[in-house]
Amino acid sequence: MKGDMRSKGEKLFNALLFVLGTVIIYGSFQIGFGRFTKPGPGLFSFFCGLILCIQSLFSYVLKKERTENADVLKYPGAVKKCLFSIITLTLWIVLMPLLGWLPLTFFVTLSFAKMMQLEGWIKPLMLAAANTLFSYFLFGYLLQIDLPNVFWG
Amino acid sequence: MEIEALFDGFVIFLSFKYVLACAIGAVLGTVIGVLPGLGPTTTMSLMLPFTLSQDATFGIIMLTGILVGSQYGGSTTSILVNIPGEAASVVTCLDGYQMTKKGRGGAALALVAGGSFIAGTVAILGTQIFAPLLGAAALKLGPPEFLALMILCFILLSNLSGDSPAKGSIMFALGMWLSVIGVGPLDGVERFSFGVSELMMGVEFLPVAVGLFGISEIIVTSVAPYVPPVLEKIRLRDLYPNGEEIKRSVGPIARGSLLGFFVGLIPGPAAVISTFISYALEKRVAKRPQEFGHGAVEGVVGPESANNSACVGSMIPLLTLGIPFNAPSAVLLAGLLMHNIEPGPLLFQNAPQVFWAYIAALYIGNVVLLVLNLPLVGLFARVATVRPTFLMPIVSTICLLGVYCSRNSMFDVWVMIIAGILGIFFRIWKYPVAPLVIGLILGPMAENSFRKSLLMFHGTLWPIFDRPIALAMILAAGFFVIAKVTYTLIKKHG
C-alpha cells in the first residue's frame, strides 16, 4: 500500500476546510435550529457545515495520492509573482482614498505589465496610459459611473 | 400563438441596441474563445456590470452571444494552433490539428462553422418548442420537487466536476453556506456576518465569480512563461471542403446536434461533457476508426456540433426552472436577477418578451457567428498570438473597476481579491470552482424549498417519496451514486 503522497499544504487546506465545517455547525447551533416542524434559520447552514465536515474528513483520511497541479507554481519566482499581484490589487483599494481611480488604474496596469516582463519602460508606460484612457472613456464617460476622484472631483 | 410571440421577439430584437448587443457579444465571445485562459464564464462575469446600465433583454442577449461565440472561437485555435481556447474545444485538438498538418485546416474550420450553425439552429428550435412546455409543466412543481431537483443537482455536479466527488461536494456545500451569510430573508435573523455590516447584505455573486475565475486566471497566467503559438496561414480558397469531407460530416453533425441538446439538460459542464461523448460515439460508429487521432473529420465536426448544441440546450433548465446547471448559466441567472427578472415557470407569464427576444437573438446571433467566422477566421486566429503581457494588465483593471461599479462598494473588491487568492489554492489542489458558484446562486432556492417542504409535511421529508416527479429525481440521483460507486470499485479491482 502506498504511503501518504500529499503535500503538507494540501493536508493543511483539507484540515482547514474541516475546521470551517465545524465552525459552521457551531454557528448554526447558536443561530438556532428550530424544530423539524418549524425549522429555524440555522438548520440549512447546519447541513452545509455537516457536508463540509464529512467530505473534508473523508478526503483527509482516505485520499492519499498527490493531486497538486504542477502547472501553477512550478515556475521560478512563481510565489513571488503571486504575492506581488495580490499586493498590487490590495494597494488599489488601500490607496483609493488618497489617489483616486485614474492614477491607480495607471499604477495597476503598469505593475502588472512590468511583472509580466513587458520589455523596457516605454511599452509598459504606453500600455498603462492607453488603458487608463480607455477606462476613463468606458467607465467615466460612457457609463458615467461615480468612481472615487481625488484631485479633480 | 408561439409563431406570433416569436415574431414579436424578432420585432423587439431588431432594434439597433439589441443588434449591437448581439454583435458585441458574438465578437467578444469569439475572441475570448480564441484566447486560451479567459473562458466564457470569466468574460460573462466581467461584462455583467456593463449590462446593468441597460435592460434585461440587452443583458441576456449580450451574455448569450458571448457564451455561444466562445464555442465557435474555441475551435479555431484548436484546429490551427493545437491550443484549445476553452475546455469544450480540447477534444477538437485531437483531429483538428492533424487535419491542419495535412493541409485540410481550412476545410475543417469551414465544416466546423457549418456544423456549429446547424447544431445551434437545432438546439434553438428545441428550446423554442420545449422551454414553454417545460415552463408550463414546472408551474405544477412544488417545494418538494424543487428540493429533489436540488439533491439531483448536488449529486451530479459533485460527481461531474473535477477529479473527485468529495471535492465537488465540498465546493457545492461551501457555495450554499456562502449564500446563507447575511440577514435571512425568511426570518430576518443575522447569520454568519460576524458583526461586519457589509456582510449583513449577503455575499454577492459577482465579486466571488470574478475573483474565482478572473483574478486567479490573471495571477496564474502572469506566473507561467509565454510560449508564442505557431500559426498556419489560411486563405479563403482553402476553406472549401471536398465532397467526401462533406459526406462524412453529415452524420456526425446530426448526431452531435441531438446529443449535445440532451446533454445540455443534465446538470454539469454540459458543453465539455458533450464533446467527449460525441468523440467516443463517432469513433464507435465510424467506418474508419483507425483514422481517429490522425485527422478524422468526424472527430472534429461531431464534438464541435455537440458543444454548440449543449451550450444552447443548457439554458432550458435556467429559463424554465430558474436553476442554472453550469457556471455560465449561473452568471446569466445572476444577470437576470440583477434586473429583477426571475427566470423560472413564471417567466413566460411575467416577462415573455425576454424569452422570445432571447430566441430571436439566438437565431440571428447564429447567423452573425457563421458570417463572422468564415471570412474572418484568419483574423480571429491571429488574436491567439496576442501576448498575455498586454492582455492581462487590462483585464485586471476591468475586474477591479467592474466589480466596484456594480454596487459602488469597496467591500466587494475585497471579496473579489479574497476569492481570487482562494481560487489559486483551489486550482493547485484541483477543487472545482463551478459547483461553488452554482451553490452560491442556488443556495436561497435550496433553503427555501427545504424549509417549506418540512413545513408542508409537518417535520418529515418521507412524503417526498409519494410524489412521482420528486421520487423520479431522487431515484435518478440514487442510481447515479450506485453506478459511480460500482464503476470505481470495478476500476480499482480490475
A51 in contact with B, Cβ within 8 Å? yes
Higher pLDDT: B359 or A69? It is B359
> Considering its fold, how many domains does chain B have in total?
1
pLDDT band at B175 (very low <50, low <70, confident <90, very high): very high
pLDDT at A111: 94
pLDDT at B461 over 90: no
Rounded mean pLDDT, A21-38: 90
**Helix boundaries (H) for B105-228:** 105-138, 143-160, 165-180, 205-209, 216-223
Per-residue pLDDT tens over the stretch B25-45: 888 888 877 776 667 888 888
Q: What CA–CA distances, in Å, run from B166 to A14, A52, B207, B218, B246?
A: 11, 9, 25, 27, 44
What is the pTM (predicted TM-score) of this model?
Answer: 0.83
Give residue B96's pLDDT. Answer: 86
What average pLDDT score do residues A107-128 get? 91
Subunit contact B420:A75, Cβ cutoff 8 A = no
Spacing of C-alpha B4 from chain mean position: 29
**Alpha-carbon gap, residue B121 to B109, rounded angstroms:** 18
Question: Does residue B116 come out as left (phi exceeding 0), alpha (psi in the -120 to 50 range) or beta?
Answer: alpha
Distance from CA of A65 to the nearest CA of B (A): 11
Cα torsion through B401, B402, B407, B411, rounded to 10: -60
- List A residues 87-106 in contact with B (Cβ-Cβ < 8 A): 89-90, 92-93, 96, 101, 105
Assign residue A65 a region: left if phi > 0, alpha if psi is -120 to 50, beta otherwise? beta
Q: How confident is the model at residue A6 (pLDDT cuts 50, 70, 90)?
A: low
- Cα–Cα distance measured from residue B213 to residue B416, given in angstroms and rounded to the nearest whole number: 10
Q: Measure the CA–CA gap between A127 and A124, rounded to whole angstroms.
A: 5
- B406 vs B117: CA distance, rounded Å: 34
Q: Judge: A96–B177 Cβ closer than 8 Å, yes or no.
A: no
pLDDT of residue B178: 95
The whole domain housing B150 covers 2-492
**Mean pLDDT, rounded, for B298-323:** 88
CA distance B485 to chain A (A): 15
Instruction: Kindly determine whether residue B459 and residue A40, on different chains, have CB atoms separated by under 8 Å.
Output: no
Partner residue opposite A116 with nearest CB, options B169, B189, B222: B222
Q: Give me the residue label for grid cell 467607465.
A: A139
**ipTM metric:** 0.92
- Tell me: the pLDDT tens digits for B49-100? 878 778 888 888 888 888 888 877 778 777 877 777 677 777 888 888 888 8
User: So what's the pLDDT on residue B18?
Assistant: 84
Give the total residue count for chain B: 494
- Are B424 and B146 in contact by the 8 Å Cβ rule? The answer is no
- For residue A1, what pLDDT is reported? 43
pLDDT recorded at residue B30: 84
Average pLDDT over residues B250-255: 93
- Amino acid A85 reads S
Closest-approach residue (CA) in chain B for A87:
B417
Q: Which of A2, A52, A44, A43 is nearest to A23 (CA)?
A: A52
Contacts of B294 (CB under 8 A, 6+ apart): B95, B98
On whether the CB atoms of residues B80 and B59 are closer than 8 A, the answer is no
The residue ranges of every structural domain in chain A are: 8-68, 73-142
Using a 10 angstrom Cβ sphere, with 0-12 exposed, 13-18 middle and 19 or more buried, the burial of residue B223 is buried
Q: Which residue has the higher pLDDT, B1 or A133?
A: A133
pLDDT of residue B364: 84
Cross-chain residue pair A69–B455, CB shorter than 8 Å: no
Contact assignment for B173 to A38 by CB distance below 8 Å: no
Contact in structure between A147 and A132 (CB atoms under 8 Å): no
- Which pLDDT belongs to residue B250? 92
d(CA B70, CA B7): 27
Q: How far apart (Å, rounded) are the C-alpha atoms in residues B279 and B316?
A: 24
Residue B234 has pLDDT above 70, yes or no: no
> Which among B167, B186, B390 has CB closest to A59?
B167
Which residues of chain B have a CB within 8 Å of the CB of A77? 223
What pLDDT is recorded for position B85?
65
**B175 HSE (CA, 13 A, CB side):** 30
